[in-house]
A = this chain, B = another copy of it.
Amino acid sequence: MILPNDFDAYCFDLDGTIYLGDKLLPGVKETIQIIRKTGKKVLFITNSPTLTREEGKMRLQQLGIAAELEEILTAPYLAGLYFSVFEPDATVFIIGEEAIRTELRNFSIQTTVDPMKATHVLAGMDRSFTYNDLQFAMDAVRNCRNFIITNPDSSCPVPGGFIPDTLSLAKAIEVASGQKISKVIGKPDTFYSDQMVGLLDVDRQKILVIGDRLDTDVQLGKAQGFATCLVLTGISSEADVESTGIRPDYVIENMTNLFCSIDEDAMVEGRDGGLVGSCQPDPLNEELLG
């Protein structure tokens, strides 16, 4: 089981972890309250390619979760930061929604709608994507230096199912153009974790990453020496833990189970070889919630 003092920083994915569509997931509000009350750090880390940092803050606020701008990392923000650090002179052709354009503008990165003028193509999920966009992106990728994508997610959890995410559109562009994706910006890339560590300024082993995806959230934690917790409210299932071999330190059914006593009847192997899982609220945490 986890007690709030076990870690110095708690990093939460958003879609499928904090909320699903426009609904907070169970136990999220109480969990954040406990962390805030114990004075631990919080970071919201999403690969969503359709959110600016500002929009992420507003979205959380609307759901009753207060957060500072500096407590939020989104894929479009990271993409803007990436170009400003490594490719400040790029001219970028974008497949993606407004959030990507906004964050690149915030970092003063030049963009173009002419496939033949692009030095880089940046692709993220685009819910208005068409065959013509695919054609333009194909031409741009064949013509440019680097094909970069905001995040490696194949689908995104929404109420009642999933919607196609960045990797799905990116693979269409990759196959049509015959050119490989050269860089993936979002989790689990080290560019993402480096920003997390920079913002948090605590020991890596005192960071807990909580997310619904094994291949992004948990993978990032494992590669970076963070502790990891899979929450089963989004993409990945307990069966996926077996089939992928990506083993988080903790697996919880939903966020009400993050800080709680162990239920002996529903457990999986935890960080130290011990067992964790679906459980009862801990009296200590009950007290913190008041």
Residues of A near any B CB (own CB < 8 A)? 126-131, 134-135, 138-139, 154-155, 161-165, 167-169, 171-178
Choose from B129, B155, B165, B174 the contact partner of A130 (Cβ within 8 Å).
B129
Measured in the bound complex, the distance between the Cα atoms of B107 and A278 in whole Å is 54
- Find out whether the CB atom of B176 lies under 8 angstroms from the CB atom of A164: yes
Contact yes or no, A126 B131, CB < 8 A: yes
Chain B nearest CB from A159 CB (Å) reads 14
The answer to whether A164 and B128 touch across the interface, beta carbons within 8 angstroms, is no
Question: What would 5 more interface pairs be, CB under 8 Å, given A126-B131, A129-B134, A171-B174?
Answer: A131-B164, A135-B163, A138-B162, A168-B176, A172-B172
Chain B residues with Cβ under 8 A from A175's Cβ?
154, 164, 167-168, 171
**Nearest 3 pairs between A and B by C-beta?**
A164-B176, A168-B176, A172-B172
Give the docked Cα–Cα distance between A152 and B134 (Å): 17
Q: Which residue of B lies closest to A164 (CB)?
A: B176
B176 and A155 form a contact (CB under 8 A): yes
Beta-carbon nearest neighbor of A134 in chain B: B164
Q: Is the CB of A172 within 8 A of B178?
A: no
With a CB–CB cut-off of 8 A, which chain B residues contact A177?
A: 155
22 contacts between A and B (CB under 8 A): A127-B131, A128-B130, A129-B130, A130-B130, A131-B169, A134-B164, A135-B164, A138-B155, A138-B163, A138-B164, A154-B175, A154-B176, A155-B178, A164-B175, A164-B176, A165-B176, A168-B175, A168-B176, A169-B172, A171-B172, A171-B174, A171-B175
Which of A163, A172, A178 has the most chain B CB atoms closer than 10 A to its own CB?
Answer: A172
Interfacial chain B residues near A178, Cβ < 8 Å? 154-155
Chain B residues whose C-beta falls within 8 Å of the C-beta of A131 in the assembled complex: 126-130, 164, 169
C-alpha spacing A155/B174, complex, angstroms: 11
**Bound: A78/B154 CA distance, A:** 31
Q: Which residues of B contact A172 (CB under 8 A)?
A: 164, 168-169, 171-172
Chain B residues whose C-beta falls within 8 Å of the C-beta of A162 in the assembled complex:
138, 176
Nearest B-chain residue to A235, judged by Cβ? B178
**Cβ–Cβ < 8 Å partners of A139 in chain B:** 161
Chain B residues within an 8 Å CB radius of A174: 171
Query: In the bound complex, how far is the Cα of B134 from the Cα of A135, in angstroms?
Result: 16
Complex contacts, A161 vs chain B, CB 8 Å: 139
Residue in B closest to A138 when the chains form the complex, CB atoms: B164
How many Å lie between the Cα of A134 and that of B164 in the bound state?
7
State in angstroms the CA–CA spacing of A128 and B127 once bound together.
15
Give the docked Cα–Cα distance between A168 and B164 (Å): 15
Assembly CA distance A138 to B167 (angstroms): 13
